[in-house]
């Protein structure tokens, strides 16, 4: 079965990953947006921020992408690019994550072959190309070389 690879072109596209943008009006400084999260969204946001879900608030609405909303969080809008890259890298684990005109997309060898393009050609076309370190498996955490601990 072929998976659907959802690009991220705006905050509303995070809903496919359990992260539902509700409003920017909840932040008096107009810096952060309020998001409802389902289980997948909680796991992604907690991993992204390196936190536990204990400090998150209760959900505002009932559903996120057809699944129960269980938490809410306010995130700075300035995290958009980093969160998009993290989510696509973590969920799809394709070799590359690319950005063009504000839209992020996870890209595998299959897409490159279909487009008859190489990564170098995509870069020359003005796309921002990131190699996905999660492509070969593993977690999003590094192990400290001296202590052997992983945060």
Q: Please state whether 25 falls in left (phi above 0), alpha (psi between -120 and 50) or beta.
A: alpha
Can you give the pLDDT at residue 60? 94
Considering only residues 147 and 127, tell me which one the structure prediction assigns the higher pLDDT.
127
Q: pTM higher than 0.85, yes or no? A: yes
Partners of 105 in the β-ladder: 98
pLDDT range class, residue 151, cuts 50, 70, 90: low
Q: Is residue 119 part of a domain?
A: no
Q: Give percent above pLDDT 90 in the chain.
A: 78
Can you give the pLDDT at residue 143? 72
Can you give the pLDDT at residue 102? 94
Q: What is the three-class DSSP state of 5?
A: coil
Q: Is residue 121 part of a domain?
A: no
Q: Is residue 126 part of a domain?
A: no
β-bridge pairing 103-107 and 96-100? antiparallel
The answer to whether the CB of 97 falls within 8 A of the CB of 85 is yes
List the domain range (segments joined by +) for residue 61.
11-79
The answer to whether the CB of 73 falls within 8 A of the CB of 35 is yes
Can you give the pLDDT at residue 1? 28
pLDDT digits (tens, 9 = 90+) for 57-108: 999 999 999 999 999 999 999 999 999 999 999 999 999 999 999 999 999 9
Can you give the pLDDT at residue 4? 54
β-bridge pairing 32-37 and 19-23? antiparallel
β-bridge pairing 96-100 and 67-68? unpaired
> Under 8 Å CB-to-CB from 32, ≥6 apart: which residues?
24, 26, 74, 75, 76, 77
**For the ranges 97-101, 125-129, 144-148, which has the lowest average pLDDT?**
144-148
Query: Whole-angstrom Cα distance, residue 65 to residue 17?
Result: 8
Kindly provide the residue ranges of all beta strands, DSSP E only, lying in the chain, ordered along the sequence: 19-23, 32-37, 63-64, 67-68, 71-76, 96-100, 103-107, 128-131
Query: At residue 3, does pLDDT exceed 60?
Result: no
Mean pLDDT confidence for 34-52? 96
Total number of domains in the chain: 1
Q: Is residue 74 part of a domain?
A: yes
Q: Is residue 113 part of a domain?
A: no
Query: At residue 2, does pLDDT exceed 50?
Result: no
Q: Is residue 22 part of a domain?
A: yes
Can you give the pLDDT at residue 23? 93
The answer to whether the CB of 96 falls within 8 A of the CB of 106 is yes
């Amino acid at each position: 079965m072929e998976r659907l690879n959802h690009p991220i072109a705006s905050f509303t596209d995070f809903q496919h990953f359990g992260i539902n943008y509700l409003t920017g009006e909840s932040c008096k400084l107009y810096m952060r947006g309020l998001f409802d999260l389902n289980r997948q969204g909680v796991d992604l946001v907690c991993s992204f921020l390196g936190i536990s879900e204990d400090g998150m608030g209760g959900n505002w609405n009932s559903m996120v992408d057809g699944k129960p909303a269980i938490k809410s969080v306010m995130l700075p809008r300035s995290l958009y690019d980093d969160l998009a890259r993290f989510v696509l890298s973590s969920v799809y684990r394709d070799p590359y994550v690319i950005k063009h005109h504000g839209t992020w997309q996870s890209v595998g060898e299959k897409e490159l072959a279909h487009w008859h393009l190489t990564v170098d050609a995509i870069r020359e076309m003005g796309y921002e190309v990131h190699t996905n370190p999660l492509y070969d498996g593993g977690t999003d955490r590094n192990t400290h070389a001296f202590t052997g601990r992983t945060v």
